[in-house]
């Protein structure tokens, strides 16, 4: 009944991890799926289930229901719940529990589940078990109201989107088999998909901004800023400093090498106004800019937990303006176009033309020596070992608008952010808390959400991020599979920690053991043992070829050179 009401309120996906106490919910979910009311996804452990649901919501904009049994099963959702909270992604956790009379007496698999996620959930309900005398039909109105309240809270009808928690108690006998006739089908006309769409309802004012008289504005697009950031930059006549997972890493005003230019007094030093959208997390230069006393800061509040306001930490009296949206009034002038042009040109100069490619003119030359030189250069290029820059360039180049790209919290996302050209792609990264948890599981949820489309969901991770989510590769044999490529840049440890300041004053062996955590896992044996295809790409030629491999579930290991 509760799951039916979720479906009527616009929920289309239920993610289930098996468990005894939650069996009634699991069996009802699959019966509802047969009746056409929902799509069920079974994940073998709760941590991967939570991130899988996160990926579904990131792509669809609607919350998925995550069903778990009691005890530690609920606690295993905590990393995904935290990520959903801080990134403003809707999620509905439905945990099974003991009835009230069995709590607090040492019952097996029983702990305090209501409130287990603390302030990370905005809506918590502890639903007591009905008695044997309860009229089931009499419960339907309250189930409908509860489902709509949960979906509204998760979708952000009265605040930021995020996770909610329903803790549902069950008495024994826990369930009985359901006939198909016992589950009413959900017609499309019964669904209220718009009700569950992900929203941003901050209640904050809309700021009206005009292009500045003396051009000195930049627009900063952090994670999940959305395409609107590109429009704001264009209308303000401002350089666009867009992170790779912003959704705005494209357009005529895009400045890829923004880190270097923010450190340059001729560029960063000339900024007097910054408009920030989304959640910037990939540089130190952006927060340093927003902390300056001579920079007026306008922050468009993102759907996540906290308004992005780094100035508040260093300057409590800083005049950061936090708004719900911006509207640009007025027109730009040639001076604004010159301001943007200087940034864009300087960025292109810093990035250069990349690695020298073979001269295509020589390929068609009538001079045999020139043609031979071209062939030698081409062979040499294809035999080159792969570094991080080459890897992100290849993955970015192989990904198209009908694909999806998921970036893990490793050194690779920072390399991509600092060099890849503008392209209008759907790029996701778990940047709410920027942890390495659940990256592959999130990508699998995204892949499930675009099932039926021609696109590939491609995941680019470092080796530790890959190893941290091995559970994602374990799938029941009855579950649907989707076209996913997991590209693992393997340098044998945590390269991201090598840049920490402490590395200059710490014994190298201590840094290696305690921070880099070197590993020698045989990736091929691991992934093939879990039923996935495996390819190794040790050279540029291998990499170009393997990224178009038609295998449905593929792991590509790329040994990296510094």
Range with the poorest average pLDDT among 133-137, 253-257, 457-461, 474-478: 133-137
| Euclidean distance between CA atoms 110 and 19, whole angstroms | 13
Q: What pLDDT sits at residue 312?
A: 76
Whether the per-residue pLDDT at 531 is higher than 90: the answer is yes
Question: Could you tell me the CA-to-CA distances from 398 to 387, 388, 456 in Å, in that order?
Answer: 17, 15, 10
pLDDT in tens, 332-373: 999 999 999 999 999 999 998 655 555 666 767 777 777 667
DSSP states of 265-295 as a string?
Answer: TTTGGG--EEEEESB--S-SHHHHHHT-TT-
Q: What pLDDT sits at residue 105?
A: 85
Q: Where do runs of H (alpha helix) occur along 250-367?
A: 258-263, 285-290, 311-314, 334-351, 360-363
- Bridge partners of 223, per DSSP, are 279
Q: What pLDDT sits at residue 463?
A: 94
| Euclidean distance between CA atoms 180 and 11, whole angstroms | 20
Give 527's Cβ-side CA count (13 Å radius): 23
Parse the chain into domains and list their residue ranges: 2-196, 206-351, 383-559
CB atoms near residue 516 (< 10 Å):
19
What confidence tier does 489 reach under pLDDT thresholds 50, 70, 90? very high
Range with the poorest average pLDDT among 369-373, 379-383, 429-433: 369-373
Residue with tokens 């020139």: 370
Q: What pLDDT sits at residue 158?
A: 85
Whether the per-residue pLDDT at 271 is higher than 90: the answer is yes
What confidence tier does 46 reach under pLDDT thresholds 50, 70, 90? very high
Whether the per-residue pLDDT at 197 is higher than 70: the answer is yes
Q: What pLDDT sits at residue 174?
A: 66
Q: What pLDDT sits at residue 179?
A: 63
Range with the poorest average pLDDT among 43-52, 184-193, 327-336: 184-193
Q: What pLDDT sits at residue 169?
A: 93
Does residue 184 or residue 249 have the better pLDDT?
249
| Euclidean distance between CA atoms 371 and 363, whole angstroms | 5
In the predicted model, what is the mean pLDDT of residues 168-178?
Answer: 74
| Euclidean distance between CA atoms 451 and 456, whole angstroms | 10
In the predicted model, what is the mean pLDDT of residues 76-95?
Answer: 97
Whether the per-residue pLDDT at 156 is higher than 60: the answer is yes
In the predicted model, what is the mean pLDDT of residues 296-303?
Answer: 90
What confidence tier does 177 reach under pLDDT thresholds 50, 70, 90? low
- Report the chain's C-alpha Rg in angstroms: 26
Range with the poorest average pLDDT among 36-45, 100-109, 111-120, 477-486: 100-109
Q: What pLDDT sits at residue 381?
A: 73
Whether the per-residue pLDDT at 148 is higher than 90: the answer is yes
Query: 228-244 burial string, b = 16+ CB within 10 Å, else e?
Result: bbbbbbbbbbbbbbbbb
Whether the per-residue pLDDT at 320 is higher than 90: the answer is no
Q: What pLDDT sits at residue 228?
A: 94
Whether the per-residue pLDDT at 128 is higher than 80: the answer is yes
CATH code given to domain 206-351? 3.40.50.1220
In the predicted model, what is the mean pLDDT of residues 251-263?
Answer: 98
Per-residue tokens: 98: 């003991």
Whether the per-residue pLDDT at 133 is higher than 70: the answer is no
Range with the poorest average pLDDT among 39-53, 90-104, 197-211: 197-211
Q: What pLDDT sits at residue 317?
A: 62
CATH class of 383-559: alpha beta
Whether the per-residue pLDDT at 318 is higher than 70: the answer is no
**Any idea what DSSP says for residue 16?**
E
- Bridge partners of 327, per DSSP, are 208
Contact 55, 444 (CB under 8 A): yes
Range with the poorest average pLDDT among 108-122, 135-149, 253-267, 436-450: 135-149
Q: What percent of the chain has pLDDT over 70?
A: 91
| Euclidean distance between CA atoms 342 and 238, whole angstroms | 11
Contact 512, 494 (CB under 8 A): no
Contact 315, 293 (CB under 8 A): yes
Contact 381, 436 (CB under 8 A): no
Closest CA to 530 of 491, 560, 486, 493: 486
Q: What is residue 66's three-state secondary structure?
A: strand
* Domain 206-351 identical in fold to domain 383-559: yes
What confidence tier does 136 reach under pLDDT thresholds 50, 70, 90? low
Whether the per-residue pLDDT at 538 is higher than 80: the answer is yes
What confidence tier does 263 reach under pLDDT thresholds 50, 70, 90? very high
| Euclidean distance between CA atoms 319 and 38, whole angstroms | 48
Range with the poorest average pLDDT among 99-113, 139-153, 239-253, 447-461: 99-113
Whether the per-residue pLDDT at 226 is higher than 60: the answer is yes
Q: What pLDDT sits at residue 302?
A: 82
In the predicted model, what is the mean pLDDT of residues 527-552?
Answer: 95
Per-residue tokens: 397: 């180049």
In the predicted model, what is the mean pLDDT of residues 291-304?
Answer: 90
Look at the domain 2-196 and name its fold. Answer: Rossmann fold (3.40.50)
Per-residue tokens: 273: 């106004």
Per-residue tokens: 407: 């970036």
Does residue 98 or residue 556 have the better pLDDT?
556
What confidence tier does 304 reach under pLDDT thresholds 50, 70, 90? confident
Q: What pLDDT sits at residue 42?
A: 97
In the predicted model, what is the mean pLDDT of residues 457-461?
Answer: 98
What confidence tier does 223 reach under pLDDT thresholds 50, 70, 90? very high
Percentages of the chain per state (helix, strand, coil), in multiples of 5 = 40, 15, 45
Closest CA to 255 of 268, 239, 235, 237: 239
Does residue 309 or residue 387 have the better pLDDT?
387
In the predicted model, what is the mean pLDDT of residues 278-300?
Answer: 94
């Amino acid at each position: 009944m509760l799951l039916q009401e979720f479906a009527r309120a616009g929920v289309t996906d239920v993610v289930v991890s098996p468990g005894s106490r939650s069996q009634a919910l699991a069996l009802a979910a699959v019966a509802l799926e047969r009746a056409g009311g929902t799509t069920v996804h079974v994940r073998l452990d709760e941590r991967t289930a939570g991130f899988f649901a996160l990926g579904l919501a990131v792509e669809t904009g609607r919350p998925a229901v995550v069903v778990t049994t009691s005890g530690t099963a609920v606690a295993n959702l905590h990393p995904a719940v935290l990520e959903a909270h801080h990134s403003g992604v809707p999620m509905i956790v439905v945990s099974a529990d003991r009835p009230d009379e069995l709590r607090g007496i040492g019952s097996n698999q029983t702990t305090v589940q209501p409130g287990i996620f603390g302030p990370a959930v905005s809506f918590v309900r502890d639903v007591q078990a009905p008695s044997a005398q309860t009229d089931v039909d009499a419960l339907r109105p309250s189930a409908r109201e509860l489902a709509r309240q949960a979906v509204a809270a998760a979708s952000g009808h009265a605040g930021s989107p995020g996770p909610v928690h329903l803790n549902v108690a069950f008495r024994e006998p826990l369930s009985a088999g359901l006939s198909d006739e016992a589950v009413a089908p959900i017609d499309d006309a019964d669904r209220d998909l718009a009700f569950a769409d992900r929203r941003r309802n901050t209640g904050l004012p809309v700021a009206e901004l005009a292009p500045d008289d003396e051009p000195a504005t930049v627009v900063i697009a952090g994670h999940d800023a959305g395409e609107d950031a590109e429009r704001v930059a264009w209308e303000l006549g401002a350089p666009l400093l867009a992170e790779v997972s912003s959704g705005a890493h494209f357009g005529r005003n895009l400045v890829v090498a923004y880190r270097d230019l923010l450190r340059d007094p001729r560029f960063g030093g000339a900024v007097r106004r910054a408009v920030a959208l989304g959640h910037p997390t990939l540089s130190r230069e952006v927060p340093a800019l927003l902390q300056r006393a001579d920079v007026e800061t306008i922050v468009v509040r993102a759907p996540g937990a906290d308004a992005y306001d780094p100035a508040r930490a260093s300057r409590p009296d800083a005049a950061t303006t936090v708004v719900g949206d911006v509207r640009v009034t007025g027109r730009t002038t040639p001076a604004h176009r010159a301001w943007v042009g200087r940034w864009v040109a300087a960025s292109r100069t810093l990035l250069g033309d990349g690695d020298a490619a073979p001269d295509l003119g020589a390929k068609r030359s009538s001079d045999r020596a020139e043609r031979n030189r071209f062939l030698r250069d081409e062979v040499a290029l294809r035999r080159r070992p792969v570094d991080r820059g080459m890897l992100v360039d290849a993955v970015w180049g192989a990904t198209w608008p009908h694909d999806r790209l998921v970036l893990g919290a490793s050194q690779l996302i920072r390399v991509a952010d600092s060099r890849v050209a503008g392209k209008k792609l759907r790029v996701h990264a778990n940047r709410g808390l920027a942890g390495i948890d659940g990256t592959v599981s999130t990508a699998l949820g995204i892949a499930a959400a675009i099932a039926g489309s021609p696109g590939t969901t491609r995941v680019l991770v470092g080796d530790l991020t890959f190893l941290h989510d091995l559970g994602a590769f374990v799938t029941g044999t009855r579950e649907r599979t989707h076209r996913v490529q997991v590209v693992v840049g393997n340098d044998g440890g945590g390269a991201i920690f090598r840049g920490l300041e402490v590395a200059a004053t710490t014994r190298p062996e201590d840094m290696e053991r305690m921070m880099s955590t070197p590993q020698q896992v045989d990736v091929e044996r691991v992934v093939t043992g879990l039923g996935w295809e495996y390819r190794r790409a040790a050279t540029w030629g291998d990499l170009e070829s393997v990224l178009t491999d038609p295998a449905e579930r593929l792991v590509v290991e790329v040994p990296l050179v510094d």
